[in-house]
Chain A
Amino acid sequence: MKILTKWLRAYLPALSVSDAQLAEDLTLRGIAVEGTFDLGPRNGTLFEMDITTNRVDAMNHYGVAREAAAIYGLSLPSLEFALPTAEKGKTPYPVRIEAEDACGRFTARVLRNVTIAESRDWFPGAEIATYFALIEQKKISNAVDATNFAWLAMGQPTHVFDLDKLEGGIVVRRARKGEKLKTLDGVERVLDSEDLIVADHAKPVGLAGVMGGWDTMITAGTKNVLIEAAWFEPMAVRKTARRYGLHTDASHRFERGADFHGGPVASNLVAKILLASGGHIEGDLVDVRVSAFECRTAQREPISLALSEVHRLLGQTIDPAGITASTVEKVLSALGCQLAAASPESWRVTLPSWRLDLEREIDLIEEVARVYGYNGFANTLPAFGEGVRTLPWAASESTVRTTLLSAGFHEAIGSTFCSAAEAALTAPQPGLVVPLGNPLSEEAGVLRPSLVPSMLSMISGNLHRDVADVRLFELGTVFSGTTDKVEERPAVAFGAAGSLPEQSPLHPARTIDLHDIKGAVEQILGRFQSRSVYFDRFEPDAGLMPLWLHPYRSARVVVDGSTVGWFGQLHPREAAARKLKESVLIGELYLDRIYQHPLRKTVARDISRFQPVRRDFSLVLDKSVSWEKIDQALAALEIPELVDWRVREVFREARLGANDYALLLGTTFQAPDRTLREEDLQSFQARVVAAVGEAGARLRT
């Protein structure tokens, strides 16, 4: 919205501050001046305003002038214009409000023998030509310009009808289904039975509070006019405006609440401007009111305000004098409130008709703070409350994050949404996918049931941009359920391609592989307490493997018998669909399940002072024998002195049969309390050999 300081100064001749100061002072009181444009000598400044939706009353020159008057303690003259005496009409023009739930007031004034002409500066307070030129408002005709002028001056919408095109009189009513109205924008509209319209006795002549009708508009040949200035209920106007996709100056104001008493003032202004080119008034102003609306707007009950509440909520000011009873009285009176003292420091406050946003004591306290100036308040701190509590899973989440960060994965944040197809591919619980009613796009049609789609899209993005080394993870929320009930769970996804996170000029880069990912998963799980962690997979025809994973290069992660996630190589079919030539590793863990396990607490063991003894065993195994079997066989030995065992190497050799592979097993024996003797070691070794033999391994000879 645009405001001319030249126009403001016409209302406030005593205003002595510069335009720049005025802009700053208004802004700091919530009447925000976003931009200022110097219009040249004697033309003042154009303010580009950004006024919050609750302050429609200030979205016009008189409203801004009122704020300025309050800030500087100036008096603001009334906008009432005296009109010439009316010639007697036969009968008052017939006006009836049928829709009493949607129209609070309708005023109609009849002017006869007017001349439709070009606008100019008519009289002080109606400098149409000057102001319109400065504000870049197109001039159309004196009748249309008069309504625009009244709008810019005081924010009250008015409408001028060609009286001779009206039949019978005015009725404000709901449209009848199927009734037609061609609006001023030239569009023929078929009306809805909910639409609030202004009609004559034969036909609709305007969408009430939104836009007038084409057939009754002012033309060059218009002789007699009817000026409408009304008050319409916000919701009724909003519904109609929304239904037709119309947003007009009038609908903007009515939707946010107009001044119940604004109509007659604006009507007089429009009439006075029109009469400046000739013509006369016929009859008195027809003024039909609905008392229910008048009670809710202009005749509201006064509200109580206590200075103690002002102090309790606003606190300390920088000025030690603070906010006094006289501050309160000055500020609120300037804004149009009437204060009656109920006791020395409390009042009954009558609210101005143009400030429908004021309803409660707190609203008045806000006005006091606002006009006093927010920056006049001190910076204080509240007394300390209670101890800070941390979220139960904060430490667990931080553990997962730091483990992945230290494994060289960058943290990413992906889209909350995915396509229905991606959801079908990745949802852990098929079918429990939640669609959006108004998605941003088809690709973002549902709430993601898994973090895999966004991870895949981020990995692909990198690879397609020739970033070959990718290591990403995302900690986020996944959604499941129905459109009646949506469940949210925390999850972590990770993905990788290219080389290990090591940069060396001297060592060759190694491609990151499935066991690197597995290592990261093991490290995460190792931070939580559990009885057992294992990894397995199912035969592809069991239908239990996620569709996005390579069926033979992927694993389920199981902690204490419960599935906590999956990882592996991206299914080549999915890789091909995304035009990925590289092998991509990807996985997801269900953190809600992992967070059920407490973080592992370290209990330090004493380190044995006695010499450890290392023994390696070179084994040959059939390829159907997995390491897990050897591992379990050694665990089952329960030799306390067998303190560590691990695979040192796995390899295939031509010398071995096609079905065999070699495995170098490293073991460490150590006792806490003595040096192991050769007999002990002989015995342990024999048991190890027997156990791995039982599991299907034979010693290499």
Chain B
Amino acid sequence: MTDEIINLTAFDGAALDRAFATLEHQARTAAASLSTEADVEAFRLQWLGRKQGRLNDVSSRWLKSAPPEAKKALGLRFNALKVVVEGLLDSATGAGPTDAALAAEAIDITLPGTRRLTGAEHPITKTLNELSGIFAALGYSIGVGPEVETDFYNFESMNFPPGHPARDTQDTLVVANQERRPLRDRLLLRTHTSPVQMRTMESQPPPVRIVIPGKVHRNDAQDATHSPIFHQVEGLCVDKNITFSDLKGTLDHAMKALFGSSVKTRFFPSFFPFTEPSADVQISCIFCGGKGCRKCKHSGWIELLGCGMVDPAVFAFAAEKQPGYDPKKISGFAFGMGVERIAMMKYGISEIGSLYAGDMRFLGQFA
């Protein structure tokens, strides 16, 4: 606006070039500072407006004073400049606001983002699901049963002899007022998920492949690694020709799936009333890879589960309702593991009690 229109005195090519270069420079300078839409409109009116437009002004003034032979060259140059100015206008319109305008809108992107907090699945649920998933891939369905059980399902049918120490109220939580009932009907809080093995076999003939995740209770004092409430996953596989080496292979596979393919397993004899032969299974220490550390008491091994071939006496109980469980024709294995122990190992939890305290700070870590 403030640029004066140059009075053109010479109309040779060089003079025209100089004059048009000045005009173009003016146009470009003006275009560079366009930021708002209003600026762009003002630019358009200033340069291309039909009434006050600078190009019109200049062309009419210069053409008037130009000698006839220069008019053509002048006209060509005006057309070229018009294209340039239109181009500047186009890019100003498309380019949106200027950098300066944008800079004024700067935001501190180092401030933390807004988080819609989602809840965390409990580490026990996570572990249970992981275990169930591993065994589902091996063809195992989920089996469930009640948390309040009878002595029959919890002990008798699992081949615990009468008077076995586990049947003592020092070890088992019992429902009140059971003394007058026959031993096998007495109600108690299941001490393991094994009763579901019997309930499942009673309800279906072989073959059976189930895993049993569930909550169990014992009359234990709470300490860093023991709790009266805990969870187990047990498994049962019954079919023709199920062998001890199948048990070994199954658990070796499961432990590798759970802890990584470099984990090794080893089996050694143990004793459970409901399996024979019975075994305890150790895995190579997942913390030190078997070299020996504080966590594995420098042995390189961590004891993780109990298992064995289903005792024929257990099949005999099942056969009372399902004659297919004839230990001469079928065989099977069972295994069981403490979910807390696995979860504590996997997630570095040091106090079992923190799993049941509902502390937001603890649980939030698993989100």
Contact = CB atoms under 8 A, between A and B. Distances in A.
Given A377-B248, A378-B249, A381-B246, A472 B360 contact: yes
Interface string A307-341: 00000111111000000000000000000000000
A473 B175 contact: no
Given A378-B248, A434-B175, A411 B114 contact: no
Interface in A331-366: 360, 362-363, 365-366
B176 to A, nearest CB: 4
Given A362-B276, A381-B250, A312 B243 contact: yes
B354 to A, nearest CB: 11
Which of A362, A375, A401, A405 has its CB near the most chain B CB atoms (within 10 A)? A362
Contacts of B187: 483, 486
Given A378-B249, A465-B359, A502-B114, A406 B119 contact: yes
Contacts of A525: none
Contact of B175 (A416, A457, A483): A483
B167 to A, nearest CB: 12
Contact of B245 (A27, A53, A315): A315
Which of A238, A366, A386, A486 has its CB near the most chain B CB atoms (within 10 A)? A366
Given A503-B114, A505-B112, A506-B111, A374 B279 contact: yes
A437 B176 contact: yes
Contact of B277 (A365, A415, A503): A365
B304 interface: no
A693 interface: no
Contacts of B138: 381
A235 B359 contact: no
B77 interface: no
B243 to A, nearest CB: 3
B27 interface: no
Interface in B108-147: 111-112, 114-122, 124-125, 136, 138-142, 144, 146-147
A408 B118 contact: yes
Interface string A164-190: 000000000000000000000000000
B115 A366 contact: no
B8 interface: no
B7 to A, nearest CB: 59
Interface string A43-68: 00000000011110000000000000
Contacts of B244: 313-315, 369, 374, 377
Contacts of B250: 381-382
Contacts of A29: 268-269
A681 interface: no
A408 B125 CA distance: 17
A477 interface: yes
Interface stretch (A109-117, A389-397, A621-629, A640-648): A389-397
Interface in A281-323: 312-317
A558 interface: no
Interface in B98-116: 111-112, 114-116
A312 B277 CA distance: 13
B358 A461 contact: yes
Contact of A374 (B118, B165, B268, B366): B268
B359 A461 contact: yes
Interface string A395-425: 0000001001111111111111000000000
B364 interface: yes
Contacts of A413: 122, 124, 215, 229, 355-356, 358
Which of B269, B270, B279 has its CB near the most chain A CB atoms (within 10 A)? B269
A473 B359 contact: no
Contacts of B24: none
B1 interface: no
Contacts of A388: 136, 139-141
Interface stretch (B32-40, B46-54, B88-96, B234-242): B234-242
B266 interface: yes
B245 A314 contact: yes
B360 A502 contact: no
Given A27-B268, A312-B243, A388-B140, A414 B356 contact: yes
A21 interface: no
A504 B115 contact: yes
A513 interface: no
A462 B117 contact: no
Given A312-B241, A381-B138, A390-B141, 19 more contacts: A29-B269, A53-B165, A235-B163, A374-B267, A380-B243, A381-B253, A407-B119, A408-B117, A409-B119, A410-B364, A410-B366, A416-B215, A435-B175, A458-B359, A467-B360, A486-B187, A502-B116, A505-B111, A506-B111
